[in-house]
């Protein structure tokens, strides 16, 4: 598919569009669990559809894709990373992305602007910078030689950040294909997935964004609260999954994904088998291939257990007081001596 590099997109946008970008955007924007506060029941609202059986709350309920744009300055999912700037009396300092000294591809801190993208009453004017945040790395892991069909295709980077705006956990994914001679040079990933957004009765929220870590990163096309395996059609709602659609392919000049981000309301995280998935949809005639690897996922923290300390018996109090008295007698004798 078409190549979308940062440099080209920004150059074109600077000529044709006002300076604007986006913010973390809910995959269920304008939707909710309804008056019963339970997802998957008949009073769920808006972007959740009834599906072919026309009954809400059943397994074929549908949801909407939330799409970005080919130009980053008009992309509601794109987080603008500001250029480095020193602090002044009226403006804060902005830092370039700070990377780990141990791995130059692992960002330790990312400053970003949040920008209003909607055009409607009751919100700031479209293009207004509404907030500034910093994503600070909490944890990271790299799966080298991730495979499809038993063949190594590339490296998958998995991140957990904490957002300074609201202290929430943000999960990040980035893929690099074909960067070693032993990796398949013609693999294509049309979808990336993250799983683990339902734990027991808890359904974690998923607000989506993406940004560049390099000049040739490929943008995020769209995302859905679904385990979507088709380039066309309406996704089926799956609250446990998030699908990112893109077109990562070395032979087409798009070997790197951008940094695809999911902001949650979780306060803790875990390592989970099958937390990250990826799918080759056969767009260029390749085999349909899917795989998952372990990764980070949100979790409910264990409850704090207050120990049930035993209450001393009256006889124990008496022994304690007697002991204190004996200590006092010994101390007075030492003073006299």
Give the pLDDT confidence of 196-220 residue by residue, as tens digits: 999 998 999 999 999 988 877 899 9
| pLDDT in the model for residue 157 | 96
| pLDDT in the model for residue 21 | 65
> For residue 8, what are the CA distances in angstroms to 3, 11, 129, 326?
10, 5, 23, 86
| pLDDT in the model for residue 18 | 40
The candidate with the shortest Cα–Cα distance to 301, out of 266, 330, 265, is: 266
| pLDDT in the model for residue 317 | 64
Residue 96 lies in a domain: yes
Residue 329 lies in a domain: no
pTM of the prediction?
A: 0.77
Residue in the structure block whose two tokens are 């803790």? 268
Report the half-sphere exposure of 52 (CA within 13 A, side-chain side): 6
Residue 220 lies in a domain: yes
Q: What is the average pLDDT value for the chain, to the nearest integer?
A: 79
| Sequence-separated (6 or more) residues with CB below 8 Å from residue 129 | 113, 114, 115
Q: What CA–CA distance (Å, rounded) separates 186 from 283?
A: 12
Number of domains in the chain: 1
DSSP 256: B
- Other CB atoms within a 10 A radius of the CB of residue 326 amount to 10
pLDDT in tens, 22-68: 788 888 754 555 566 665 555 545 456 666 766 666 666 667 778 88
Is it the case that residue 178 has pLDDT exceeding 80? yes
Q: What CA–CA distance (Å, rounded) separates 270 from 294?
A: 10
> For residue 152, what are the CA distances in angstroms to 177, 180, 236?
9, 10, 30
Is it the case that residue 101 has pLDDT exceeding 70? yes
| pLDDT in the model for residue 106 | 92
Residue 317 lies in a domain: no
Q: Best-predicted range by mean pLDDT among 93-97, 160-164, 250-254, 320-324?
A: 160-164
Residue 222 lies in a domain: yes
Residue 84 lies in a domain: yes
Is it the case that residue 261 has pLDDT exceeding 90? yes
> For strand 169-177 and strand 151-163, is the pairing parallel, antiparallel, or unpaired?
antiparallel
Residue 14 lies in a domain: yes
Give residue 9's pLDDT band: very low, low, confident or very high (50, 70, 90): very low
Is it the case that residue 311 has pLDDT exceeding 70? no
> Which comes out higher in pLDDT, residue 69 or 152?
152
Give residue 79's pLDDT band: very low, low, confident or very high (50, 70, 90): confident
| Sequence-separated (6 or more) residues with CB below 8 Å from residue 16 | 71
Q: Print the domain residue range for 72.
A: 6-28+63-299
Largest CA distance in the chain: 100
pLDDT in tens, 180-198: 999 999 899 999 999 999 9
Residue 240 lies in a domain: yes
The backbone region for 16, taken as left when phi is positive above 0, alpha when psi lies in -120 to 50, beta otherwise, is: alpha
| pLDDT in the model for residue 128 | 67
Pure H helices in the chain: 6-16, 314-336
DSSP lists the bridge partners of residue 153 as: none
């Amino acid at each position: 598919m078409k190549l979308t590099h940062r440099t080209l997109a920004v150059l074109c946008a600077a000529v044709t569009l006002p300076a604007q970008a986006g913010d973390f955007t809910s995959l269920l924007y304008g939707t909710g669990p309804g008056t019963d506060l339970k997802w998957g029941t008949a009073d769920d609202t808006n972007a959740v559809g009834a599906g072919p059986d026309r009954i809400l709350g059943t397994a074929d309920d549908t949801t909407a894709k939330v799409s970005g744009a080919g130009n980053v300055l008009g992309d509601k999912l794109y987080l603008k990373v500001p250029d480095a700037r020193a602090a002044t009396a009226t403006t804060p300092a902005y830092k370039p992305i700070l990377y780990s000294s141990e791995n130059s591809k692992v960002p330790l801190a990312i400053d970003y602007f949040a920008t209003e993208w909607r055009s409607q009453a009751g919100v700031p004017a479209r293009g207004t910078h509404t907030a500034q945040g910093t994503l600070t790395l909490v944890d990271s892991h790299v799966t080298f030689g991730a495979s499809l069909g038993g063949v190594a295709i590339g490296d998958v980077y998995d991140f957990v950040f904490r957002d300074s705006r609201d202290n929430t956990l943000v999960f990040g994914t980035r893929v690099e294909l074909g960067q070693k001679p032993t990796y398949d040079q013609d693999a294509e990933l049309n979808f990336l997935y993250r799983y683990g957004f339902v734990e027991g009765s808890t359904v974690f929220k998923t607000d989506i964004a993406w940004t560049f870590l390099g000049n040739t990163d490929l943008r995020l096309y769209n995302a859905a609260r679904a385990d979507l395996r088709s380039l066309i059609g309406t996704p089926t709602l799956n609250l446990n999954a998030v699908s990112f659609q893109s077109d990562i392919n070395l032979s087409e000049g798009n070997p790197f994904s951008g940094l695809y981000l999911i902001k949650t309301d979780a306060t803790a995280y875990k390592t989970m088998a099958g937390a990250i998935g990826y799918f080759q949809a056969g767009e260029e005639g390749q085999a349909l291939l899917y795989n998952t690897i372990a990764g980070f996922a949100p979790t409910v923290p264990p409850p704090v257990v207050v120990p049930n300390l035993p209450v001393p018996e009256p006889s124990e109090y008496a022994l304690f007081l007697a002991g204190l008295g004996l200590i006092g007698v010994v101390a007075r004798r030492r003073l006299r001596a």
